[in-house]
Amino acid sequence: MTTISTPVDNGVDIEFLRGAREQLAEEPEGAKFTWRVTNTWVRGTHSQTTARGFFGLGEEQDRPQAFHFDADHPEVFSADDNGATPTELLLAALASCLTAGVATVAQNRDIQLRSVSATLEGDMDVRGVLGADTDVRNGYSHIRVTYAIDADASAADIEALVAQSQKRSAVYDIVTNPTNVTVRVA
Amino acid sequence: MTTISTPVDNGVDIEFLRGAREQLAEEPEGAKFTWRVTNTWVRGTHSQTTARGFFGLGEEQDRPQAFHFDADHPEVFSADDNGATPTELLLAALASCLTAGVATVAQNRDIQLRSVSATLEGDMDVRGVLGADTDVRNGYSHIRVTYAIDADASAADIEALVAQSQKRSAVYDIVTNPTNVTVRVA
């Protein structure tokens, strides 16, 4: 009996990533990346952030295009709602990091994905940011991420896929663990 | 002698926010917000996140429009660069939260802003996310935020403005302190 199987293709260049892992283990200087954005105040709570260049693989890297993100507060805070709230942007960062990880780990484990979607919810008591109660933290008390994944794999393998994505996610690490931030005025 | 002064206007409705602070201190149920996004995998490391509805002031809130964010990995990782990286989105969240805070605190302190811009840099050793060295963390080792602010205020007052924005920022809190994240598959 002859079995013809279609190669798994989630659009992730896993051979390249396996090579990069080996190469950067030997040449750790190239692994030192600096991601960078600029932010410009527009008016009120509205600002725009731009991402384009970054440093990595030992040199400054440019891209064909810049990416722009508007952020603002919504009308319930008497603001102009010209963009998502910063706290929604944070959820977008977490979501996209975990989903990129799901696709990458699936490719690494020969699992064909058909669809991946996630809903993220973050609970926040706004008495914190308003300064109404200093015992209330400013940020999220809890973030819930719920994935719906259709793939050529068992439920257990899909669970393991998501668990491994968490384990290797930059943004999951930044959110769940303390990260050092220095703020200064030039 | 008559002094005519123009009222400070940074576009922030500070009277509303002062009222909300008092009201929500008395009615803390209304202060319980849940921010929400949905994320859909496109292909490879490319996904799109959408923000629109949220829960707050005791009920579900809709907005006139949804906000969309594409994220991807860049060409140096052999990806398609269809959007900013998730780690740049995280910097955008931090930048926009601090800048909204600068505008709000300035309004509260009667400081007229003329321009506010910030550069954010985050250092990351990608051996972490690649799994090349388990002693290297996945996320940022350090984030640097540098503000340039032109305002009707002394350098010391501008420093204090930025410090107060940090103190009340949701995203600064989430990044610098541990935040609980639960991930599950539906």
Helix, strand or coil, per DSSP, at residue A139: coil
Q: Is the ipTM of this complex over 0.95?
A: yes
Question: Percent of chain A scored above 90 by pLDDT?
Answer: 96
CA distance to partner chain B, nearest, from residue A2 (Å): 30
What are the pLDDT digits (tens) for A72-96? 999 999 999 999 999 999 999 999 9
- Chain A residues whose CB is inside 8 A of the B153 CB are none
Which residues of chain A from 111 to 170 reach within 8 Å of chain B, CB to CB? Answer: 113, 115-133, 136-149, 155, 158-159, 162-163, 166, 168-170
Query: Taking phi first (over 0 means left), then psi (-120 to 50 degrees means alpha), and beta for anything else, what does residue B73 get?
Result: beta
Q: What is the pLDDT along chain B (186 residues), one digit of tens a residue?
A: 566 678 999 999 999 999 999 999 999 999 999 999 999 999 999 999 999 999 999 999 999 999 999 999 999 999 999 999 999 999 999 999 999 999 999 999 999 999 999 999 999 999 999 999 989 999 999 999 999 999 999 999 999 999 999 999 999 999 999 999 999 999
Alpha carbon distance B62, B54 (integer Å) = 7
Helix, strand or coil, per DSSP, at residue A184: strand
- Answer whether B22's CB lies under 8 Å from B12's CB: no
**B165 Cβ partners below 8 Å, 6+ apart?**
B98, B99, B101, B102, B104, B105
Alpha carbon distance B12, A36 (integer Å) = 28
- Answer whether B120's CB lies under 8 Å from A39's CB: yes
**CB-CB: which of A47, A67, A143 is closest to B100?**
A47
- Answer whether B141's CB lies under 8 Å from B121's CB: no
Q: Which two tokens stand for residue A110?
A: 């020969």
Helix, strand or coil, per DSSP, at residue A30: helix
pLDDT at B10: 97
pTM above 0.90?
yes
Tell me the pLDDT band of A1, cut-offs 50, 70 and 90.
low
